[in-house]
């Protein structure tokens, strides 16, 4: 009831104001000169894709491995401490993670860089994947593990080939939701990849990303910037919601109990 009003209003405004802006040129061109209409969000889309790709490379293996550890070997004090800290990290403000990376990477190398942004996003992604992996591995019945053990298969082999395969859809769901989350993340990007007017040049230089572009556009006082901001918002919200709704649709009715935190 009451909760629907903001969502519907957000979707309505984004579509109403964004749809007219979007065309091929807008999606592929670099931003124009500030203060003049024209230009697009090509670098931003490219940047978001690169960033998400790098984040997946760093974050997914670590997250899945941590989840496996917590689920299969984590029933001891160490595991409980890790699980607790993981839950705390999952709710941690992303801007603080950004500051930590800023201090560690940007100040050390004296340059805003793509790598710093990807690291910050990986830290945000890690706890989400860890938790969803752990939860879905826990749903695998013990009898399957026992059966594999009874065949004389080793523990790590059982975990990798049998348990992980059985829980695959849950793990993939968690990864997709985590990707959707980091794709929309903007606060840590402001002081890690900084934003740029140009297409990707090097891993060690600033880059643009969709949420960042929306932020910059929203700060500009021109009507064209407002329209482009809505257009970029529409692209971003489509990316994020398509993943979310798709995942929900694909897993509907399945017993997928995570401690559902957004």
Enumerate binding residues for other proteins (CB under 8 A).
Answer: 1-4, 6-7, 9-10, 13-14, 17, 84, 87-88, 91-96, 98-100, 102-103, 107, 110, 112, 177, 180-181, 183-187, 190-191, 194, 211, 214-215, 218-219, 226, 229-230, 233, 236-237, 240-241, 244-245, 248, 259-262
C-beta atoms surrounding 183 within 10 Å: 20
Closer to other proteins at the Cβ: 88 or 203?
Answer: 88
User: What DSSP string runs through 159-196?
Assistant: IIIIIHHHTHHHHHHHHHHHHHHHHT--HHHHTTTB--
CA distance 172 to 178: 10
Q: Report the b/e string of 56-66 with b at 16+ CB within 10 A.
A: bebbbeebbeb
Degrees (nearest 5) of the Cα angle 245, 246, 251? 100
Closer to other proteins at the Cβ: 43 or 163?
Answer: 43
Q: How far is the CB of 154 from other proteins (least distance, A)?
A: 33
Q: How far is the CB of 46 from other proteins (least distance, A)?
A: 18
CA 162 to chain centre: 28
Closer to other proteins at the Cβ: 37 or 96?
Answer: 96
Closer to other proteins at the Cβ: 29 or 237?
Answer: 237
Three-state secondary-structure class, residue 207:
strand
Q: How far is the CB of 9 from other proteins (least distance, A)?
A: 7
Bridge partners of residue 207, in order along the sequence: 194
DSSP state of 30: P
Closer to other proteins at the Cβ: 167 or 190?
Answer: 190
Q: How far is the CB of 235 from other proteins (least distance, A)?
A: 11
Q: How far is the CB of 222 from other proteins (least distance, A)?
A: 14
CA distance 5 to 237: 17
Q: How far is the CB of 49 from other proteins (least distance, A)?
A: 15
Closer to other proteins at the Cβ: 55 or 158?
Answer: 55
């Amino acid at each position: 009831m009451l909760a629907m009003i903001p969502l519907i209003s957000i979707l309505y405004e984004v579509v109403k104001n964004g749809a007219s802006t979007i065309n091929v040129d807008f999606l592929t061109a670099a931003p124009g000169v500030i203060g003049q209409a024209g230009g697009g969000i090509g670098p931003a889309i490219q940047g978001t894709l690169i960033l998400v790709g790098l984040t997946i490379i760093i974050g997914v293996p670590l997250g899945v491995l941590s989840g496996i550890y917590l689920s299969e070997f984590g029933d001891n004090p160490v595991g409980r401490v890790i699980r607790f800290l993981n839950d705390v990290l999952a709710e941690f403000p992303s801007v603080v993670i950004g500051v930590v990376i800023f201090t560690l990477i940007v100040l050390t190398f004296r340059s805003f860089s793509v790598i710093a942004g990807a690291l910050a996003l990986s830290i945000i992604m890690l706890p989400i994947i860890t938790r969803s992996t752990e939860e879905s591995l826990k749903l695998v019945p013990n009898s399957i593990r026992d059966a594999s053990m009874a065949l004389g298969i080793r523990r790590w082999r059982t975990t990798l080939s049998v348990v992980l395969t059985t829980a695959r859809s849950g793990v993939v769901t968690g990864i997709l939701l985590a990707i959707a989350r980091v794709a929309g993340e903007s606060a840590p990007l402001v002081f890690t990849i900084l934003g740029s007017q140009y297409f990707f040049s090097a891993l060690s230089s600033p880059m643009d990303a969709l949420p960042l572009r929306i932020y910059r556009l929203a700060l500009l006082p021109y009507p064209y910037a407002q329209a482009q901001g809505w257009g970029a918002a529409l692209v971003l919200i489509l990316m994020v919601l398509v993943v979310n709704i798709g995942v929900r649709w694909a897993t509907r009715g399945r017993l997928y109990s995570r401690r559902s935190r957004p």
